[in-house]
Structure 1
Amino acid sequence: MCNHTPKCPPADAPDANAAHPASSCYEQGWTLLCNGVLLFEDTGEIRPDLTIIPPRRAHYANAGQVAA
């Protein structure tokens, strides 16, 4: 699927998100990588084998609290 040199990482590699974008729709918030991974702007993704990777959001202990 990938014609880049060096080859992009496969979809099951730890660095799969480093592959080159093949197509994207910024209005809908997704990018298809050349290795078949579908990335979403909320950091979630769908792999070619239909494995769903949930969004990776930072968790802050004091989020939303106002200092007194």
Structure 2
Amino acid sequence: MHFDEVRQMKEDAKRKEITNKELAENVGLSVSMISKIFNYKASTSEHNLAKMKHYIKTKQTYIWVKMPVN
């Protein structure tokens, strides 16, 4: 996986408010390994990167909207 793809995953995870701990638990890696991957200090298998990408992409996000009640 290229530098740009890892950067995009990191940005998407941040936008969806996915913590490294949440991602690690769902992908099966340690929190420190997720951090190292996102900081370009370590690499992992394509399989693990694909699992990370899939989790980030399919994670549902919800937006709470304030609405006046009459």
Task: Identify the TM-score tier after normalising by the shorter chain.
Answer: under 0.3
The structure carrying a bigger strand percent of its residues is 1
**TM-score, structure 2 normalization:** 0.26
**TM-score, structure 1 normalization:** 0.26
Flag the structure with more relative contact order, 1 or 2, with Cα contacts below 8 A and sequence separation at least 6: 2
